[in-house]
Amino acid sequence: MIWVIHTLNGVSFGILLFLLAAGLSLIYGLMKILNLTHGSYYLVGAYIGSTVIATTGSFILALIIAPLVVAVLGAVMERFFLRRFHLDELPQTLLTFGFLFIFADLSLWIWGGDPIMLPKPAMFSRSIDIGGLGYPTYRLLLIGVGLLVALILWWFQERTRVGAMLRAGVDDAEIARAMGIDVSLLFTLVFAVGALLAALGGVLGGPIIGAGPGTDFDVMLLAFVVVIIGGLGSLRGALVGGLVVGLLDNFGKIFFPEFALFTIFVPMAVILSFRPTGLFGRG
């Protein structure tokens, strides 16, 4: 029964990784921007979530407000700053790097330097019995919400008009523009959605990973590993990559505790040596 719990641990962490990585992957896929601010969206999302919970006591409100605020931040970043360097990779990356510091310092200023954990919603702060061992319902909730988000994203990408434009934009932005698709608006939208997903991860992951100075870098690193394994620009890759990393990390720590530092990076190196574009990436 303990293995069921280990598996659930791995899956729930994997789902969280998916939420963190999906936005990064989307943004890169469409705009070829390596967004180093991605971890900051998580951090700011978690902090805003904690403030909302502290003032209103509602986890649901935090789950709505924090991602929306961060989505606006993302849209502003794209619209007024990154746009100036379209397809100019180095200035773009440096710009997002700069934003990372701005967000880190602002967070330190507003929320202080003490690490925080977000409180769990009261309804999901209990455990259920799995073969005599308690298992927190919050992690099950995380798995549920994560899969729901994956489903919505899939529907959005495959079944809606905007999704079709998005796919067209990923495949060839120039032609998409020539076909009359408003790529400019699409860029802003995707950037906002990417930021929104990371902030959602911040609120949902807050009770497990928490937030504090340096969490932005940690999360960015995790998101990059997942995206590299799954393949840049692929949502399916982010989901599978997240689950692969979550499970390998969990069982790696149980079976090879002395290599705990590398349980995430070794699979990445192995997969890259066989599939340089990641599991679902296109070359």
Residues that bind another protein (CB under 8 A): 2, 5-6, 9-10, 12-13, 100-101, 104-105, 108, 112-117, 119-120, 125, 127, 133-136, 138-139, 207-210, 212-215, 217-218, 222, 249-250, 253-254, 257-258, 260-261
Of 187 and 224, CB closest to another protein = 224
Q: Least CB distance from residue 215 to another protein, whole Å?
A: 8
Q: Least CB distance from residue 248 to another protein, whole Å?
A: 11
Of 9 and 35, CB closest to another protein = 9
Q: Least CB distance from residue 158 to another protein, whole Å?
A: 31
Of 114 and 174, CB closest to another protein = 114
Three-state helix/strand/coil letters over the chain: CHHHHHHHHHHHHHHHHHHHHHHHHHHHHHHCCCCCCHHHHHHHHHHHHHHHHHHHCCHHHHHHHHHHHHHHHHHHHHHHCHHHHCCCHHHHHHHHHHHHHHHHHHHHHHHCCCCECCCCCHHHCCEEEECCEEEEHHHHHHHHHHHHHHHHHHHHHHHCHHHHHHHHHHHCHHHHHHCCCCHHHHHHHHHHHHHHHHHHHHHHHCCCCCECCCHHHHHHHHHHHHHHHHCCCCHHHHHHHHHHHHHHHHHHHHHCHHHCCCCCHHHHHHHHHHCCCCCCCCC
Q: Least CB distance from residue 249 to another protein, whole Å?
A: 8
Q: Least CB distance from residue 13 to another protein, whole Å?
A: 5
Q: Give Dmax (Cα) for the chain.
A: 62
Q: Least CB distance from residue 250 to another protein, whole Å?
A: 5
Of 174 and 258, CB closest to another protein = 258
Of 16 and 271, CB closest to another protein = 16
Of 224 and 280, CB closest to another protein = 224
